[in-house]
Structure 1
Amino acid sequence: MNSDLIANAFGTAAALCSITSFAPQMIKIWKERDASSVSLKTYSLTVTCFVLWVVYGVMTQAWPVTFANSAALVMAAGVLAMKWRFKDGDPEEAEAAS
């Protein structure tokens, strides 16, 4: 097998894992309207890391790295945005439950 093909297969698998790893967290937060279990510091660092990987990919013209990390950045940023929106649960839902 061609070493480029093997490297691309590993790269594709890594990208898919990175991107999809955020989906369960996003779905859970959105359904429950509660992001209290999400660490703001951790997700801020994760988003920063993906931004740096995207910049690296652009600077080195490593387009697979750029695209994969851009997609993961969108997912991680989505979790971070929901953390800000649903910090300790949705206030409207908390009032309705009372």
Structure 2
Amino acid sequence: MEDFSEGGLHLQKETRLCTIRCKDGKELVIRAGVRGVLAEVNDRLAANPDLVRTAPENQGYIAIITFGAGKRKPDEFVSELPPKQVYLKNYELESES
């Protein structure tokens, strides 16, 4: 995993993290979704990009973003996140959970 903890890249909600290219040729732009600092990028995806689909909640994560620096309570942030099914539907991904 590439570590950006020292002087990481500052992200805005609309910052593009990556583009996922599907087998059918469709491309999905994945954005940060929060203002924060890029702490880590998942290097495993270079060798096994299917992890995004098969293990999205653990080995298939795209990046780790730190945010808030104590300015917001975690509950305030979590309340802004859409439910998992809504998120997946918005990005036209299917959950294999």
Q: Say whether the fold is shared (TM-score over 0.5).
A: no
- More strand per residue: 2
- More helix per residue: 1
Considering only CA atoms, is the larger Rg found in Structure 1 or Structure 2? 1
Q: If the TM-score is normalised by the length of the shorter chain, which range does it land in?
A: under 0.3
